[in-house]
Structures are given as structure tokens and as C-alpha cells.
């Protein structure tokens, strides 16, 4: 490390150490000489000092002065604060080396002897703004009488400074100059600003949350009051529909808050399963499309055919992100607006696929400042958006957390008044192809002729890519007139994909004309395509001869299923039946739940399945009922938080029984404790699975199917029935012995 003394020569710190050692070695001699001088002073014989002693005294005084100057210089050279010392005429005397940085000069000594006005004129330092320079001048002009200590806070290009300006005096109170101390408070000021912004954001968030919670609660309570006061069935149903919508909205708000709290606590985790990417996208569109339809918005989707059918990842969280982005586009886009969803396959490395999803709209757009706030917790692009459009301001922050956990990134491109495009990438492992390909099923698309008719080039391109992949013979027409010319030229086609709305001749009228044409071998079918709801056009479409209807946006599986159906193949291998009437008639459930209304809800939901249900109100009752008739029950739904004995303890006791029934019976947690650690705790206590509250009907049925209708479920049922019959026979024999 080096230091610059006043003469400009750089010397090592070790040289200062050497000087200090010399001062110390002379200290004893100096003390002796000091005693001698004090004695002579007391005797008033100072003039009797010999020449040698006077010389030594001069050396001591000079040495002490040098030592003091050295200490001052060290302080100025290495002080973290900026120090200016001006004399009584406002001329620069001394300053810290840190001045060089803020003045952009090589040597602070360049300022020596310059007065304040000259310094400002020559260097124009931002630290000497009007407030600072005025205060220095006031102190000088008043000879230190203006203020004992003036504190100013200034902002410059290089940072923020807290400035102390104070006069200093000699021992006789004679004004001798001005001391200016500047502390760099940039980090502290930024931290203060961040804390204030965070506090303000959380206050705004709580205000928004109050609105977001009270609004659906008001709807629920209000519609309940209206529904109870009316005798009209239609009116009651209307109220129930509104209550359902408000309840789902309220649940979404609660889920957002819980998700954000888990992300901030570092407890948010993903659940990896193999899922069908297209089917996940289809679910998202089905969930959000009705909201777009309400605003008459056109929702389109472009699906990259290279994306693998099955991927390994958390499909629910991925769907949550896409739903949030599309939902925002619907919310911030005016009526009759456009929303495009695009998917891209960016490549694959070592079985890890890079997938991109973009959601574009022509909505209100965002400026640069608004974009900077988007992905922060408790923030919205503008505070007015919560009042105009609603929302918690958590959706994009949650989405960012989810995407980053999937090794991806999320960003926005937008211009105020011209719409926005939100995009993200994720890395997902390629899954196994569970279903056989169309070729493996013996379906040969080259045996049929297809004709796609649409005035949208993107739709025709979509059909081109898909039919090319499967080797189908497909022609394309941008209008009804072109389609009729192709039919006249090539004869009839097996399947016509006809857009509903086209210029001059629409899809309904074209269908009438196509039905007049002689069909090819195997017959023909007209498939009408539209973004409209089928109920709006059903009457005219059926009258014209439409055979099938596909609602936009189109998915590849829609086309492949329809062609497979035409060719006689099973196009519905992946679809679960929604018919649950009487499917669990032979089974019995032990429902362990302490809240009466929750028991009533489960009974009502499962009533169509004819599942027999016995109820227990706490863990003690459940254990007793199972112990008395273990062969009676095929499955147990177990609440966790209950009085007297909770679900964990009840499960452990049941599993501890020495019987096959106790070890085999499926026990499913049915609880509002839905965090990952709650699920793990349920599994560790001996439960087989978990259903969260509020209860999702599809999940409820899915769990029952899994454990009751599977081969293992059938085996357990047969074993229980046999055990029950043996027990009845034993009971009859015991009863007969008593009679004898």
C-alpha cells in the first residue's frame, strides 16, 4: 500500500513505521529534557538553556509538529468520508484523497489555494450544489456566526451524500475556517427507499386484498339472501351459479396468498409427474375461453408439432402460469380484442427439452416503468389497475417463482397502447410415449382425402403441418369459391374442414353446397370450425348438414381424433368417462370428519355413485368402528384435525392392528392442510394419498376409481367379502351352540 505526502513523493507505509520508531526511541530522552525545561521555567531561568538544549527543544517541537502533520495526512488519505477544509476566506486548505474521485482529478493538491468560487467555476462539482455552497459562504461572511452545525442531504450522479457544514475557531474563539464533511449515504438511502416502497406496496396490497376478499364474500352473502327469499327454481339456480363463481374467485385469491408466502419462505416445491403437454394446454384454454367469449375476444393457439407428446414436470403449476398470463391478457384487452397463444420447441439436450410459451394481446400495453414492477411481490403495473381490473398483484410474482424453479425465465415485451407479449421458457424432461402412434394403430391417413377451407392463412398452415406429419392427402382453400372449384376439379373429399365465418359464402351455405356433391368411396363428412359456442349456430348448422363441430382454438388431438373416428379407430383412449351413476354400489366408505356440513357435502357429491357411507366424528369413533367390522369397509376418508384423536393417530392405530384388512385398506387424507409437508406427514402416518379441501369433485372420483376399481381394489373387495362370510358362519355356529 502507498501514500502520497504533500511533496507528491509516494512512499511505503513501512517508512512511516520507521519514523514512528525513531520518535519512540527518543521518547525517554525527550522526557528527561522536558523535566529539565520545566525546572528552569519554575526558576524563571529559561534563558540559561544552553545552545545544545535549545537545539534539542527545537527538534522536539519540530518533530511533534511533523508527527501531527503525518497523522493528519494519514487521516485525509485513508478516510472513507469526503473532507474539505476552507480557511476564513473560503480558500481550500486541506482535503481528503477521496475528493479526487468525485472531482475527477488526479491529485487533491490541485485545489490548494483556490477559493470556493474558483473551484465551482473550474470543476463544477455536483457535490457543491446551491444549498452547500450558500451555507459555506454564509458561515464565512458571518465569521462563523450563522450556525454551529448545518446538515444537508444531496443527490449527485455518483450517489447520495449527507453533508455536515460547520465553522471552527481558535482557542480565543477567533473564526479560522469551515469544515465540510460528506458521508456517502447511497446504500443507506437506497435501503430506506426500498423499505419505504415495500411498506407502501404491502399497504396497497392489503388494501387490494381487502377489496378482493370482500367483493366475492359480498356476492356470496348477497346471493344466499336472495336465494333463500325466492321460491322460483330458476332464480335459486341463478343465485347458486353466482355463489359458485364467487367462491372459486375467493379460493383463487387465497391460493395466491398461500403460494406467495411459500415462495418467500423457500418452502414452495414442484411435484414432477409425466403429463401430456397438449392436454394440459387444452385444459388451460377450456378454463379461460369462456372469459374471452364474454368479451367477444378472439383466442387463437399455435401448437408446435415438434413438442413431445409427454413431458416430465409439474403440469399443474405450468398450467397455473399459462392461465395467469392468458387471464391477464383477457383482463387488460378490450372487447373484440385478439389474444394469441404460441408454443415453441427450442431444442433438446440429453433428454431435456427447452419449451417456450408466449401469450400476445393487443390490449392496453405497458410503459417501461410499469414493466419494471411487474414481477415483484405485492406489485401491479399501476395502482389504478387494481381498482379498474381487480387482482391481488401476486400472479406474475408467483409465475416468476414457478418458472425459475423449472430452470426457465419469464419476460415481457410491451408498448403502451399497443399490447403486450409475455413469454417464458422452461426445461422439461422428455416423457415416454404412452399411446401408440396412429400408424401403430393401423390407421393410414393416405387412404382419405381432406379439404381445409379457411380465410385465415395461419389455420391453413396449421392443417398443412399436421396432415404432412401423418402423410394425409390434403388440399387447402382460402375461400368457399376456391373450395367449390377444387371439388369440381378433383371430385368429392372424405372430410371437409369448413370455417364458419368467411366472406361472401359462409360455412353454413358452403356446407349445403358440399352436401349436393357425390361423395367419394367411404362417404364424406363436413366438420364446421368456429370460435363461437355450438349453441349459437347449432340449429342452422344441423339443418345445413354439418356432421361434426370443432371449436377454436384447435389442438392436434382434435383433428387426429376426428380422422381416427372417421376411419373406425378408437379416438378416445385417453378420455375418462363422466358417467358415475352407480359405479361404487358394491363398496362401503368410512368417512371420518368432525364437521357436519363437510360430511353432508361428501354424501351429496357421492350420492349418484351409490357408494355406501358410514360416518365417524373423530378418530376414537373411527378406530372403534373399524375394529368392530374391519371387513365391512373398502376405503377410509380421514380428516386430520379432529377433537379427542386426530387423523394421524387414528391411522397409526388402525395400521397397528394384526389383520390383513388393517394393513391393506386404503386410507385417504381429506384435509385443508395442503402444504407439501402436510402431505408428507399424512403419508408417514400410514395414509395412502391426500385430497385437499375445498374438495375437487373430479379428484374425489379419481381417487375412488384408483383404489376401488383397480385390480388391487377388486382383490381387496373379494377378500373382505370372503372374510365377512366366514365371520357370519362362525357367528351362526356360536349361536347354534348356545341354543343346544
Region 213-230: mean pLDDT is 77
Output the average pLDDT for the chain.
78
Report DSSP letters for 582-637, one per residue.
Answer: TTTTT-EEEEE-S-HHHHHHHHHHHGGGT-EEEEESSHHHHHHHHHH-TTT-SEEE
Q: What confidence score (pLDDT) does residue 568 get?
A: 62
Residue 467: its pLDDT value, please?
81
Q: What is the pLDDT of residue 380?
A: 53
Q: Can you give the pLDDT at residue 8?
A: 35
Banded pLDDT at 346 (limits 50, 70, 90)? very high
pLDDT in tens, 109-148: 888 888 888 888 887 787 888 778 888 888 888 887 765 5
- 709-733 tens-digit pLDDT: 877 777 777 877 777 777 777 777 7
Nearest-5° Cα angle at 68, 62 to 71: 140
- Report how far apart, in Å, the C-alpha atoms of 287 and of each of 187, 195, 533 are: 46, 38, 14
Of 200-209, 241-250, 254-263, the range with the highest mean pLDDT is: 241-250
Mean pLDDT value across residues 448-476: 84
For range 325-333, the mean pLDDT: 88
pLDDT one-digit tens code per residue, 678-693: 788 899 999 998 888 7
Tell me which residue of 647, 584, 653, 652 sits closest to 618, measured CA to CA: 647
Quick one: which of 697, 699, 595 has its CA closest to 640?
Answer: 595
Task: Report residue 604 as a C-alpha cell.
Answer: 351429496
Return d(Cα 548, Cα 538) in angstroms, integer. 10
Q: Grid coordinates representing 568?
A: 373406425
More confident residue, 36 or 553: 553
**390 pLDDT higher than 60:** no
For residue 53, count other CB atoms closer than 10 A to its CB. 14
- Which region among 51-60, 310-319, 644-653 has the lowest average model confidence (pLDDT)? 51-60
Q: Is residue 207 scored above 80 in pLDDT?
A: no
Burial of residue 73 (CB within 10 Å: 0-12, 13-18, 19+) is middle
Q: What is the pLDDT of residue 243?
A: 80
281 close to 322: Cβ distance less than 8 angstroms: yes
* Confidence (pLDDT) at 634: 92
pLDDT band for 201, please (50, 70, 90 cuts).
low
Cα–Cα distance for residue pair 37/45, rounded to 1 Å = 9
User: What is the per-residue pLDDT for 3?
Assistant: 42
Q: Which residue has the higher pLDDT, 569 or 321?
A: 321
Q: What integer is the mean pLDDT of 353-367?
A: 92
Provide the pLDDT for residue 574: 40
Look at residue 365 and give its three-state secondary structure.
coil
**Nearest alpha-carbon partner for 470 in 389, 556, 392:** 556
**Better pLDDT: 299 or 57:** 299
Contacts of 420 (CB under 8 A, 6+ apart): 329, 332, 360, 361, 363, 365, 366, 412, 413, 414
Confidence band (pLDDT; 50, 70, 90) for 497? very high
Q: What is the dihedral of CA 50, 51, 57, 58, to 10 degrees?
A: 160
Where is mean pLDDT largest: 107-116, 150-159, 620-629?
620-629
* Cα gap 517→219, rounded to integer Å: 55
Whether a cis peptide bond, with omega within 30° of 0, leads into 560 is no
Enter the pTM of the model. Answer: 0.50
pLDDT for the residue 215: 62
CA gap 188, 677 in Å, rounded:
38
- Percentage of residues in the chain having pLDDT higher than 90: 19
d(CA 337, CA 331): 11
Quickly state the pLDDT bin for 11 (edges 50, 70, 90).
very low
Q: Which residues pair with 180 in a beta bridge?
A: 84, 165
pLDDT of residue 2: 39
Q: Are 180 and 153 in contact (CB under 8 A)?
A: no
Task: Name, of 113-117, 193-197, 231-235, 624-628, the range with top average pLDDT.
Answer: 624-628
Percent of the chain with pLDDT over 70: 76
Q: Report which DSSP code applies to 437.
A: P
Nearest alpha carbon to residue 153 among 103, 102, 124, 188: 188
Quick one: which of 462, 465, 468, 470 has its CA closest to 437? 470
Rg of the chain taking only CA atoms, in angstroms: 42
Q: What is the pLDDT of residue 235?
A: 79
Of 187 and 386, which is predicted with more confidence? Answer: 187
pLDDT of res. 652: 95
Closest C-alpha among 425, 423, 406 to residue 316: 406
Measure the CA–CA gap between 356 and 322, rounded to whole angstroms.
Answer: 11
Mean pLDDT, residues 197-206 taken together: 66
pLDDT band, very low/low/confident/very high, at 309 (cuts 50, 70, 90): confident
pLDDT mean over 40-61: 54
DSSP 314-340: -HHHHHHHHHHHHHHHHHTS-TT-EEE
Q: What is the largest CA-CA distance in the chain?
A: 145
Predicted confidence at residue 514, as pLDDT, reads 92
- In the numeric block, the cell 387423523 is attached to 647
> In 3-state terms, what secondary structure has residue 310?
strand
Mean pLDDT of 83-89: 87
pLDDT per residue as tens digits for the range 427-441: 999 987 544 444 444
674: phi then psi, degrees, rounded to nearest 5: -120, 5
- As given in the structure block, the three cell numbers for residue 650 are 387414528
Does the pLDDT at position 671 exceed 80?
Answer: yes
Amino acid at each position: 500500500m502507498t501514500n502520497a505526502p504533500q511533496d507528491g513523493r509516494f512512499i511505503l507505509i513501512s517508512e512511516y513505521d520507521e519514523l514512528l520508531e525513531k520518535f519512540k526511541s527518543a521518547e525517554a530522552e525527550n522526557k528527561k529534557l522536558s523535566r529539565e525545561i520545566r525546572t528552569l521555567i519554575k526558576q524563571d531561568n529559561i534563558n540559561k538553556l544552553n545552545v545544545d538544549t535549545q537545539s534539542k527543544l527545537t527538534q522536539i517541537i519540530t518533530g511533534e509538529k511533523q508527527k501531527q502533520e503525518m497523522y493528519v495526512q494519514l487521516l485525509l488519505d485513508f478516510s472513507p468520508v469526503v473532507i474539505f477544509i476552507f480557511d476564513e476566506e473560503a480558500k481550500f486548505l486541506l482535503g481528503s484523497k477521496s475528493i479526487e474521485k468525485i472531482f475527477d482529478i488526479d491529485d487533491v493538491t490541485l485545489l490548494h489555494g483556490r477559493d470556493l468560487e474558483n473551484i465551482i467555476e473550474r470543476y463544477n462539482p455536483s457535490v457543491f450544489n446551491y444549498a452547500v455552497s450558500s451555507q459555506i459562504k454564509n458561515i464565512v461572511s458571518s465569521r462563523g456566526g450563522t450556525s454551529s452545525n448545518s446538515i444537508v442531504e444531496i443527490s449527485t450522479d455518483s450517489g447520495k451524500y449527507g453533508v455536515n457544514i460547520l465553522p471552527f475557531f481558535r482557542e480565543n474563539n477567533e473564526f479560522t475556517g469551515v469544515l465540510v464533511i460528506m458521508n456517502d449515504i447511497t446504500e443507506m438511502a437506497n435501503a430506506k427507499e426500498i423499505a419505504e416502497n415495500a411498506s407502501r406496496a404491502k399497504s396497497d396490497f392489503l388494501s387490494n386484498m381487502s377489496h378482493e376478499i370482500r367483493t366475492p364474500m359480498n356476492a356470496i352473502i348477497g346471493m344466499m339472501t336472495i336465494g333463500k327469499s325466492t321460491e322460483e327454481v330458476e332464480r335459486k339456480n341463478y343465485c347458486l351459479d353466482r355463489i359458485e363463481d364467487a367462491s372459486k374467485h375467493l379460493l383463487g385469491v387465497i391460493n395466491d396468498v398461500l403460494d406467495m408466502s411459500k415462495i418467500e419462505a423457500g418452502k414452495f416445491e414442484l411435484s414432477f409427474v409425466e403429463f401430456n403437454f397438449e392436454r394440459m394446454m387444452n385444459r388451460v384454454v377450456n378454463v379461460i375461453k369462456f372469459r374471452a367469449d364474454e368479451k367477444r375476444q378472439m383466442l387463437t393457439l399455435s401448437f408446435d408439432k415438434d413438442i413431445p407428446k409427454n413431458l416430465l414436470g409439474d403440469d399443474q403449476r405450468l398450467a397455473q402460469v399459462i392461465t395467469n398470463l392468458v387471464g391477464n391478457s383477457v383482463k387488460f384487452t378490450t372487447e373484440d380484442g385478439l389474444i394469441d397463444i404460441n408454443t415453441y420447441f427450442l431444442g433438446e439436450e440429453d433428454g431435456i427439452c427447452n419449451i417456450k410459451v408466449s401469450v400476445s394481446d393487443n390490449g392496453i400495453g405497458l410503459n417501461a416503468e410499469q414493466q419494471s414492477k411487474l414481477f415483484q411481490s405485492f406489485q401491479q403495473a399501476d395502482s389504478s389497475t387494481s381498482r379498474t381490473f381487480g387482482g391481488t398483484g401476486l400472479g406474475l410474482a408467483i409465475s416468476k417463482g414457478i418458472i425459475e424453479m423449472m430452470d426457465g425465465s419469464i419476460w415481457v415485451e410491451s408498448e403502451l397502447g399497443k399490447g403486450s407479449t409475455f413469454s417464458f421458457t422452461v426445461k422439461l424432461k422428455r416423457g415416454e410415449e404412452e399411446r401408440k402412434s396412429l400408424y401403430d394403430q393401423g390407421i393410414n391417413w393416405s387412404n382419405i382425402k381432406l379439404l381445409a377451407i379457411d380465410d385465415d392463412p395461419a389455420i391453413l398452415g396449421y392443417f398443412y403441418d399436421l396432415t404432412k406429419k401423418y402423410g394425409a392427402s390434403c388440399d387447402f382453400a382460402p375461400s368457399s369459391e376456391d373450395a367449390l372449384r377444387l371439388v369440381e376439379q378433383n371430385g368429392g373429399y372424405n372430410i371437409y374442414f369448413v370455417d364458419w365465418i368467411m366472406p361472401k359464402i359462409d360455412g353454413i351455405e358452403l356446407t349445403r353446397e358440399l352436401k349436393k356433391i357425390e361423395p367419394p368411396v367411404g362417404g364424406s363428412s363436413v366438420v364446421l370450425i368456429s370460435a363461437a359456442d355450438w349453441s349459437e349456430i347449432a340449429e342452422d348448422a344441423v339443418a345445413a348438414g354439418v356432421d361434426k363441430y370443432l371449436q377454436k382454438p384447435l389442438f392436434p388431438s382434435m383433428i387426429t381424433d376426428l380422422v381416427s373416428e372417421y376411419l373406425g379407430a378408437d379416438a378416445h383412449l385417453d378420455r375418462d368417462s363422466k358417467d358415475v351413476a352407480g359405479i361404487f354400489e358394491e363398496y362401503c366408505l368410512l368417512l371420518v370428519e368432525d364437521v357436519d356440513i363437510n360430511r353432508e357435502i361428501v354424501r351429496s357429491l357421492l350420492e349418484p355413485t351409490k357408494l355406501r357411507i358410514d360416518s365417524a366424528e373423530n378418530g376414537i369413533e373411527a378406530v372403534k368402528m373399524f375394529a368392530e367390522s374391519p371387513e365391512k369397509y373398502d376405503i377410509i376418508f380421514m380428516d386430520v384435525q379432529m377433537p379427542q384423536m386426530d387423523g394421524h393417530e387414528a391411522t397409526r392405530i388402525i395400521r397397528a392392528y394384526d389383520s390383513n384388512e388393517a394393513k391393506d385398506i386404503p386410507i385417504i387424507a381429506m384435509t385443508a392442510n395442503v402444504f407439501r409437508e402436510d402431505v408428507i406427514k399424512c403419508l408417514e402416518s400410514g395414509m395412502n394419498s391426500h385430497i385437499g379441501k375445498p374438495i375437487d369433485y373430479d379428484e374425489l372420483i379419481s381417487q375412488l376409481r384408483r383404489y376401488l376399481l383397480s385390480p388391487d381394489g377388486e382383490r381387496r373387495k373379494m377378500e373382505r367379502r370372503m372374510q365377512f362370510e366366514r365371520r357370519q358362519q362362525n357367528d351362526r355356529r356360536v349361536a347354534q351352540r348356545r341354543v343346544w
